[in-house]
Structure 1
């Protein structure tokens, strides 16, 4: 059994997520995330440090949603367990590490995202594995549930009334 350590990282995807379906029917996505430390020089200028690359594994609905939503270069945040494993290959003992993700999301410091909620039936463990995003149920579902790109105050209208800059939950 390997060692597991809680961890959260913020970085950029090095490649598109690779989605596969195991023999048991469980979806598995492999992601590779580069994390760069920003270093401030003596003159006050900022430079990127050496990147650290992390292998990330996601399973079930998280794997499917990650593969459908994320692309190479996207800034992401990942929280999960850092897992160390040892194995033998060609008579040599080797070690590997990966993050088994509990959550993965876009990093909204430098951009915006539109959230599309899944139905509970599609999120059930025995639900059929889908490789496409769920189609919006109504025209209202096609509009973003929130708008984080506005620098103006967010207006939350009273029950059921919508405005241009809305937050609906």
Structure 2
């Protein structure tokens, strides 16, 4: 039985994400995130405590997008579940922990970011109806930074104003 512990961390990437593909073709990105605790001294001044390093794993599209978007030193936020596992190495019992990421994003307290939607591929793992609008999404962002508002995307990738006939 496994215990799932939800976690949120904010820190900096220690290295570029390491993207690999498993035998089944599923993308897996390994990230290492350093989190520094801020400590207030008795005189009221603030300083960084010792860093805590977290191993983070991301899978599928999240892994590919993180690998293409992030690099060493980037401030990131990660939401996911803490996973523990026990194993034996050289006759010794050992334990390891990692965060299996559900979301990863840049920490916007320290800079700005430009969002660009990735085209989705149609397939069984994408879900019912996914990919029907992929052509429209690939050519048009869902949000326009220039107008600071949503961009209208025609339903099912067809031209706007199409009417159904029976």
Would you say same fold, with TM above 0.5? Answer: yes
Within 5 Å, give how 1:11-160 maps onto structure 2.
11-121=11-121, 125=125, 137=139, 145-146=144-145
RMSD, matched Cα: 2.1
TM-score, normalised via structure 1 length: 0.75
CA contact (8 A) 1:60 1:125 kept: no
Alpha-carbon distance between aligned partners in 1 of 2:104 and 2:65, rounded to the nearest angstrom:
9
Where has structure 1 moved over 4 Å in runs of 4 or more?
A: none
Q: Which is strand-richer, 1 or 2?
A: 2
Q: Residues 124, 71 of structure 1: CA spacing in aligned structure 2 closer, same or farther, 3 A cutoff?
A: farther
Alpha-carbon distance between aligned partners in 1 of 2:29 and 2:60, rounded to the nearest angstrom:
9
Shift of 1:124: 6.8
Alpha-carbon distance between aligned partners in 1 of 2:118 and 2:124, rounded to the nearest angstrom:
10
CA contact (8 A) 1:55 1:98 kept: yes
Structure with the greater relative contact order (CA < 8 A, sep ≥ 6): 1 or 2? 1
Say if 2:150 is the partner of 1:168. Answer: yes
Q: Residues 124, 53 of structure 1: CA spacing in aligned structure 2 closer, same or farther, 3 A cutoff?
A: farther
Alpha-carbon distance between aligned partners in 1 of 2:123 and 2:109, rounded to the nearest angstrom:
28
Structure with max Cα Rg = 2
Gapped regions of structure 2 (runs ≥ 5): 127-137, 152-166
| Number of residue pairs matched by the alignment | 139
